[in-house]
Structure 1
Amino acid sequence: MPMTMPMTMTMESLNETEILIKHGADSMSFYEYDYESDNSSKPAWMIMHAIGMTFSFAILLPFALALKASHSSLYGLVNLLFLITISTSTAFSTIYKKLTPDLYSHSAHGKLGWFTLFLIAALSGYDSFRFLQKAWTWYKSTNYKSLNSFKVNVLEDVDRAPPSNHSQAENDNIPLYETTHLHDYDDEADSPASSDSRRSEMTLNDDQPEHLAKLNYSSLKLSWKERGLAIAHYLKLTLDRTTFPLGFAGVTTGVVSYSGICHATYLNGCLAHLIKGGIFFGYGLLTFGRYCGAYADIGWAWNLTPRRSLRNWKARCVSAEFVECLVIFTYGCTNTFMERFGAKAGDPWSMKQVQHASIAVMFFFVGGLGLLIELRSVRRLFGSYRPDQPNPNPFPALAIGITGFAMASHHQEYAFAVSQHALFGNFLALFALCRCSTYALTYLSPITSERPTKPVTELLASFFLSAGGIAFMFSIEQFTFAAYRRGFAHLMFLLNLVISLTALCIFCVALTMVVKSWSARESTGSNKGLLFDASEAGGEDDDEGVDGVDEANVHQHDRLTHTHAQSHSHDQPV
């Protein structure tokens, strides 16, 4: 494993003549205009814009969506603060543009920023309007102003939608069950015996009499209007979550525009590094979220899919490994033919192009192989299909690990560039090692609980993958050239920078998960600990209830169904 990285040659200098012939002269950047020229504008406007936008998308937006998912009364206030902050930051940017010349023509940052702003206004504007309307009504109608009256009249229930007919009908058919029994069930769910009883109960429910099935599900049929509202609801949830990658893209393109990089001949290389590195970085954060319990309701938190999810679309949801393989396969089948973008007809293949294309071909077939073994029909043919157990799939780790090994010895023209590629290559290889360790641990100790198991190897894997993504984005040519020219071409500087940024981003994700679990506990009065189960602490879907009593009712409903099925077992074979 190539864990050693070559020492940076501090006495090495750039071949400026070769760079000038190959890429041409660099134009002045906004940074150089603000800090290294006599015609400096007011960089304070840009500083306030950058701080405001970063704070909005890294802190306020995740907090707002977390509070909304847990039906917290604080959602309206945080959402309004987010809209105010992002609008103010946009105003700062507009003032800065009026004071400076256009040094980066055809920049994608402005267009992407306005699109994101309008999308956020469309998604969150109505909620903020309702909050302001409630606040104004309270201000005009209440003589005695106090924090408690503001909380009761404005914050509480400002965001809570009435239960849908689906959930109401389901609750009407479920007898009330005491909350204390929920903890008994949780204790049972952690034992191997409960796994066997769980499978037996599922079998009985699958073969229950027809009249019992009608008793359970007849009231859950939805009208066309309700189906349309449900589709619109999930569409809005999807659009809400697209604001995260849009915000990340906005921050990235903002850094590119302000630093004046990725021009002309640098464009294709910049796009490749920023997009691929961004995917690794984002999936590392997603992996950390799964470690904290996110998506436990569909079995993505290294847990058994909860029985309450087996009655809806979540029972048919694909695994997290399927998504990983799909991304790898898509990248491979597209990048195999995109490597020659920018090359002229008849140009010979360079060494870098051959190396990149070979990695793309590997992603193509390894991702396809991973998708193949994720198919339930294929696993049934192999005799390895177990619906109650996750399916170990090492091919995503294999593809990323081999990529790390390859990048650690990638051909580069400068020693510091070699060190950069070795750094993120080793991070990717460490991710693969941690993921394989997770499969080894789950093989020795199979998953038997519906709770997130939180393997510590995945905690490390998420950190390594995010760090590898950031180091990948820092390995663009112009960053390397700038490091040489300014005396920062040292591996220790880059390593500390990458680790610091990774720790900061993962800290923000952890803080968001804590806020989500806390708000769910506060809004439902549940006595569960923090980060017990993201699906129970608000879930990933806004239409799911988070009340412990409701969940206990579901468990009691399952047990009554089991008992009813057993009562008919003499007449109806199982």
Structure 2
Amino acid sequence: MRYSGETHQAPDSRSNSNGAARYSFHSNNDNLIGKKVKKLNEGRNKLYVKVYNIPLVKKLSIHFNKIFSLLFNTLNYLILFYLFIHCGIGLAVGNLLGTPKNRVFNLLAHWIKGGVFVILGIVSLARYCGFGLNKSWGWNLSILKRSDYYNEITGRYNVPLWTKLFGKSGVNMEFIEVFLVFFYGSTNIFLEHLASEDGKWTAKDLQHVSIAFLYLGAGLCGLLVEFYMSDVKYKKGLEQYKQIIKETENRELSQEEIDDIIVANPGYSLNPLGPFTIFWTGILMSKHAQASPVSTAVHVQWGSLLSYGSPFRLLSMIYMLVFPAKEVGVAQRPFTEIISSFCLLSGGFIFMESTDQVIEAMEYRGYTEMFTFNISIGFITILMSWIIILFVCKDWLEKRQRN
């Protein structure tokens, strides 16, 4: 770029001219991009209007929009779970084709159960990074208002179905955890006997079934606790919201504004049954006698990791009590969740390794339990880094889109 009278300008005036030229260049570039985006939006909106003006489409969208939303969200999450299950089971069964069935079931048991804890660790870390903010899953205060769901076309309030089913406190992640614990225990009662060679119940089978009863009872207790905690969560969320309004806007919430709130959730539930179940699973399995010293040591590794991670989840709840949310819909990110996620991921991953086939391969090559332990810990930390990077990129893109 050239400057008029550059040889007669002082350095300060030159830098100012340079800055102005750069500003003008970027402004023109931004305007050009803005015009292109506006043109694309107008074309998209025109297409939406044409499709929506079709009488059949309009009737379907008005009368069945809730059903369509429910089907989409249900299938969306189920496809993700199916991917996890299909990859794990397919690889396990394909690896042992032609072998006795008890060896296949042994591998499947460790892969499925260990995989459950790996997925739970991924969800916990994602929750720390802000996953599920709109459902109060990201350790965030969630306030949903009826007026936000008003549809000007139909003149109705399209309140989500889950808010009607679960009341004013919504659905916490703790509720989903204890429900999965209950479901896991109810199915595990008969699955533990599949690896039996002669069909007879052994002491080992009964020991595994006792753990299934722990999951069944603890899961049911957790669901009942969530039922009793519903009003407590609503009151605590509403109390925090009133405090935020008082500090930021220097006023009190009116009764009309309070009546408009359909969900108030502090982002967590004081339900210790989930960590309690994982803690005792780790303790019981770390004391679980195995066929070889290497197998016993590996079980002690992942059992100890699971038991170590549970107290940090309780500390996360205490952290949220001591430091309540100062904003609505913003992730709190208690630092204890990083350690809890690491323990769940590492424990679940080593759990998957503790199957007979892996232990036999280790013993055949002369590897000790510390060899795979070091590799597993290193892999898990890299996986955690990758997950956090993905959420950092997601937050950056959302921030750029808003601006």
Q: Same fold (TM over 0.5)?
A: yes
Match of 1:555 in 2: none
- What is the match of residue 228 of structure 1? 64
**Residue 213 of structure 2 corresponds to residue 361 of structure 1:** yes
Q: Secondary structure at the match of 2:142?
A: coil
For 2:217 and 2:47, locate their aligned partners in 1 and report how far apart those are by CA, in whole Å.
46
The 5 Å alignment of 1:147-226 reads 224-226=60-62
The alignment status of 1:374 with 2:218, answered yes or no, reads no
Alignment of 1:394-473 (within 5 A): 394-450=272-328, 451-473=330-352
- Partner in structure 2 of residue 141 of structure 1: none
Taking the TM superposition and a 5 Å limit, the aligned residue runs for 1:12-31 are none
Alignment correspondent of 2:154: none
> Aligned runs of 1:69-80 on 2, under 5 Å?
none
Query: Can you list the C-alpha shifts for 1:167-199, whole angstroms capped at 9, x where unaligned?
Result: xxxxxxxxxxxxxxxxxxxxxxxxxxxxxxxxx
SS of corresponding position for 2:140: coil
Q: What SS does the corresponding residue of 2:235 show, helix, strand or coil?
A: coil
Q: What is the Cα deviation at residue 352 of structure 1? A: 1.8
Residue 126 of structure 2 corresponds to 289
8 Å Cα contact 1:285-1:462 kept in structure 2 = yes
How well do the aligned residues superpose, as a CA RMSD in angstroms?
Answer: 3.4
What does residue 495 of structure 1 align with?
373
Q: State which of 381, 391, 398 in structure 2 corresponds to 1:520.
A: 398
Tell me how far 1:413 sits from its aligned partner: 1.2
Distance in 2 between residues matched to 1:363 and 1:370, nearest whole Å: 10
Determine if the alignment matches structure 1 residue 476 to structure 2 residue 355: yes
Q: Deviations over 1:8-46 (max 9, x none)?
A: xxxxxxxxxxxxxxxxxxxxxxxxxxxxxxxxxxxxxxx
After the TM superposition, which residues 47-62 of structure 1 pair with which residues of structure 2 at under 5 Å, given as runs?
none
Higher relative contact order (CA 8 A, sep 6+): 1
Alignment-derived partner of residue 81 in structure 2? 245
- Structure 1 pair 290–261 and aligned structure 2 pair: CA distance change class (3 A): farther
Q: Is the 8 A contact 1:277 1:470 kept in 2?
A: yes
Letter in 1 for 2:298: Q
CA distance in 1: counterparts of 2:43 and 2:291, whole angstroms = 57
The residue correspondences of 1:308-323 to structure 2 (distance < 5 A) are 312-313=159-160, 315=163, 316=166, 317-323=170-176
**Distance (whole Å) between structure 1 residues aligned to residue 273 and residue 123 of structure 2:** 18
- Cα distance in structure 2, aligned partners of 1:320 and 1:164: 35
Residue 324 (str. 1) matches residue 177 (str. 2): yes
Q: Give the aligned partner of residue 485 of structure 1.
A: 364
What's the CA shift for 1:289?
0.7
**1:350 to 1:286, Cα distance in 2 relative to 1, 3 A:** same
In structure 1, what is the Cα distance between the partners aligned to 2:203 and 2:71? Answer: 45
Aligned residues: 316
CA contact (8 A) 2:298 2:354 kept: yes
Name the counterpart of 2:192. 339
Matched, 1:256 2:135: no
Structure 2 Cα separation of the partners of residues 431 and 353 of structure 1: 27
- Can you list the C-alpha shifts for 1:390-414, whole angstroms capped at 9, x where unaligned? 4310100000000001111111010
Tell me the CA shift for residue 262 of structure 1. Answer: 9.1
Distance 2:212 2:270 in 1: 23
Report deviation, 1:447: 4.0
* In structure 1, distance between residues paired with 2:299 and 2:93: 24
Is 1:386 the counterpart of 2:230? The answer is no
Q: Partners of 2:389 and 2:310 in 1: how far apart? A: 26
Task: Report how far residue 296 of structure 1 moved.
Answer: 1.3
C-alpha distance in structure 2 between counterparts of 1:414 and 1:159, whole Å: 68
* Residues 560-571 of structure 1 aligned to structure 2 (within 5 Å): none
Q: Following TM superposition, by how much is the alpha carbon of 1:254 offset from its aligned partner in structure 2, in angstroms?
A: 5.8
Q: Is the 8 A contact 2:93 2:104 kept in 1?
A: no
Q: Per-residue displacement from partner, 1:429-475 (whole Å, max 9, x unpaired)?
A: 11101111112222333445322110000111111111111111101
Distance 1:418 1:232, change over 3 A: same
Alignment of 1:262-281 (within 5 A): 263-264=99-100, 265-281=102-118
Secondary structure of the 1:306 match is strand
Q: Distance in 2 between matches of 1:159 and 1:414?
A: 68
In 1, are the aligned partners of 2:103 and 2:195 still within 8 Å (CA)?
no
1:506 to 371, 378, 384: 384
1:405/1:425 contact within 8 Å kept: yes
Give the TM-score normalised by the residue count of structure 1.
0.49
Q: Secondary structure at the match of 1:303?
A: coil
TM-aligned CA deviation for residue 496 of structure 1: 1.6
- The 1:493/1:152 distance shift into structure 2, 3 A limit, reads farther
**Structure 1 residue 231: deviation in Å?**
3.4
Which amino acid is 2:205 matched to?
A: Q
Match of 1:108 in 2: none
CA contact (8 A) 1:352 1:411 kept: no
2-structure distance, mates of 1:394, 1:263: 42
TM-fit CA distance, 1:355: 1.7
Q: Structure 2: how far apart are the matches of 1:302 and 1:163?
A: 39
Contact 2:189–2:213 under 8 Å retained in 1: yes
Indicate yes or no: 2:143 matched with 1:306.
yes
Secondary structure of the 1:248 match is: helix
Shift of 1:162: 8.1
Runs of at least 4 residues of structure 1 off by over 6 A? 158-165
Contact 2:286 2:304 in 1 (8 A): yes
Give the Cα–Cα distance (whole angstroms) in 1 for the partners of residues 104 and 93 of structure 2: 12
Higher helix fraction: Structure 1 or Structure 2? Answer: 2
For 1:160 and 1:284, locate their aligned partners in 2 and report how far apart those are by CA, in whole Å: 40
Unaligned runs of 5+ in 2: 1-31, 50-57, 150-158, 238-265
The SS at the match of 1:455 is coil
* CA contact 1:262–1:270 (8 Å) conserved in 2: no
* Counterpart for residue 202 of structure 2: 350
| In 1, Cα distance between equivalents of 2:392 and 2:47 | 25
Q: What's the offset of the Cα at 1:271?
A: 1.5
Shift in alpha-carbon separation, 1:232–1:307, aligned structure 2, 3 A? closer
